[in-house]
Chain A
Amino acid sequence: MQKKSLFKEFSKGIIKENPVLCLVLGTCPTLAVTTQASNAIGMGAAATIVLICSNAAISLLRKVIPGKVRIPAYITIIAGFVTMVQMLVKAFAPAIDEALGIYLPLIVVNCIILGRAEMFASKNSVIPSMVDGLGMGVGFTAAMLLMGSIREILGAGTFFGIPITSGFMDPILVFILPPGGFFVFGMLVALSSKLSGQKKTAEDISCAKCPMNKTCSKVNGEEGKCNG
């Protein structure tokens, strides 16, 4: 029974509550680093490690951190883990560090991580929180890999750097430029909400899960709607 529910926590992050395609969190790195499939893997791995560690730490400290200062406390914990990952990547994978550049330290402000801390780790015990972090991280990586593959194959004619479309198709450069990122992401979100047959639109779901929901709806003057 326990094993089954842990598996459920893991698998929900990949398909049902995929952080990128269903919850629409963490859009900045998703759009920025997916010009190549290999960047997507590097970014995904870094974010997954941070997610697992920060979820574990926040879950352990959830009874110690006072409610009022929880967001700054979470950000500090996350920033600590991001710094560690940054140093590890710099030491062991300098090529990935070069490719990701500024987006590696920016994992700190990635809303997937803060969102999971607020939604899950602050309410659950350590093991489920870590499994949740792993599932969300794998879902994030999978979505970025999908987007990176589409953009790399169409935009550069290569896949993980290996030329594959040189025989029959010229690369469509715009797909690896910024407009292509927005376009491919829009199409994937449309496809995912079509396939899952959700009656709700993507943004209703993302807003309920977003830690900034309250502030956002105050700004727009509408309850529970930040994106629409």
Chain B
Amino acid sequence: MVKQLVAVFLAAILTENYVLSKFLGICPFLGVSKKVNTALGMSAAVTFVMVLATAVTYPIYENILVPFGLEYLQTIVFILVIAGLVQLVEIILKKYMPPLYNSLGIYLPLITTNCAVLGVTMLVLEKAAQDPSYTYVTALVNAFGAGIGFLVAMVIFAGVRGRLETADIPKSLKGLPITLVSASLVSVSFLGFAGLVEGLMG
């Protein structure tokens, strides 16, 4: 059980990295990875919302949508739940935890339309359908791992972009193109993890 959870967690970070191998959440990955501390704040907010969204949408799907045969409403229900949840978290943080709101709050509106959050909530259900040993707890661990994977990718990339600022770049590659090429190189390094988790966990 614990072994399975560790394997799911590591796989979500390294081999199934949401940004670098599933291409979810590319907009914040390119948009807010300029400085390490904004990258950290954004990823912390994303991780928080990912776990919370999975915690809410998983039971909704299993206990409301499936028994009533409404699986086709998944997309519309999930996006509304996530949008409502993000608003709620923003209001609660603002009222009761102002310091946390000041550090994470500005990232929250960006997260509603972040495809990584919606992607996680749907992918864990897809996995749960294929594997009977996949439970609610596994889904939560998977969502947490996905968030940490996002954080790892963002922080590594923020570091790479810091180096780019002083580099001499050909004129037509300046700006977005060179950012994408460096993302490609960071992604190559994550290819090296392929098969690692299966190897470690047997």
A190 CA to B170 CA in the complex, in Å? 10
Main DSSP-derived SS at the A contact region: helix
Q: Contacting B118 at CB < 8 Å: which of A109, A174, A187?
A: A109
Residue interface mask A27-58, B partner, CB < 8 A = 1: 11101100000000000000000000000000
In B7-58, the 8 Å CB interface with A consists of 20-27, 30-32, 34, 38, 42
Q: Contacting A27 at CB < 8 Å: which of B20, B26, B42, B181?
A: B26
| Cβ-defined contact, A186 with B179, below 8 A | yes
In A193-223, the 8 Å CB interface with B consists of 193-194, 201-203, 206, 212, 215-216, 218-220
A7 in the interface (beta carbon within 8 A): no
Residue interface mask A1-41, B partner, CB < 8 A = 1: 00000000000000000000000100111011000000000
Give min CB distance, B122 to chain A, whole Å. Answer: 6
Q: Which residues of B contact A114 (CB under 8 A)?
A: 113
Residue interface mask B167-179, A partner, CB < 8 A = 1: 0000011111111
Complex interface: stretch among B92-100, B143-151, B184-192 = B184-192
| Cβ-defined contact, A189 with B42, below 8 A | no
Q: Which residues of A contact B34 (CB under 8 A)?
A: 220, 228
| Cβ-defined contact, B26 with A31, below 8 A | yes
B140 in the interface (beta carbon within 8 A): no
A67 CA to B179 CA in the complex, in Å? 35
B side interface size, CB within 8 A: 52
Give min CB distance, B45 to chain A, whole Å. Answer: 10
Q: Which residues of B contact A219 (CB under 8 A)?
A: 32, 38, 42, 106-107, 110
Residue interface mask A164-202, B partner, CB < 8 A = 1: 000000000010011111110111011101100000011
| Cβ-defined contact, B109 with A215, below 8 A | yes
| Cβ-defined contact, B26 with A28, below 8 A | yes
Give min CB distance, B111 to chain A, whole Å. Answer: 10
B135 in the interface (beta carbon within 8 A): no
A86 CA to B106 CA in the complex, in Å? 33
Who on chain B is nearest to A110 by CB?
A: B115
Give min CB distance, B18 to chain A, whole Å. Answer: 10
A193 CA to B185 CA in the complex, in Å? 22
A100 in the interface (beta carbon within 8 A): no
A187 CA to B191 CA in the complex, in Å? 21
Who on chain A is nearest to B110 by CB?
A: A215
Interface residues of A (CB under 8 A from B): 24, 27-29, 31-32, 72, 75-76, 79-80, 82-83, 86-87, 101-102, 105-106, 108-111, 114, 174, 177-183, 185-187, 189-191, 193-194, 201-203, 206, 212, 215-216, 218-220, 226-228
In the complex, 20 of the A-B residue pairs with CB atoms within 8 angstroms, ordered by the A residue number, are A31-B26, A72-B80, A75-B79, A75-B83, A75-B113, A76-B76, A86-B75, A87-B72, A101-B126, A108-B79, A108-B118, A110-B115, A174-B188, A179-B185, A182-B181, A182-B183, A186-B178, A202-B176, A216-B110, A219-B32
With A28-B25, A215-B109, A219-B32 known, 9 other A-B pairs at CB within 8 A are: A27-B23, A31-B23, A75-B112, A109-B115, A109-B118, A180-B184, A189-B176, A215-B110, A226-B32
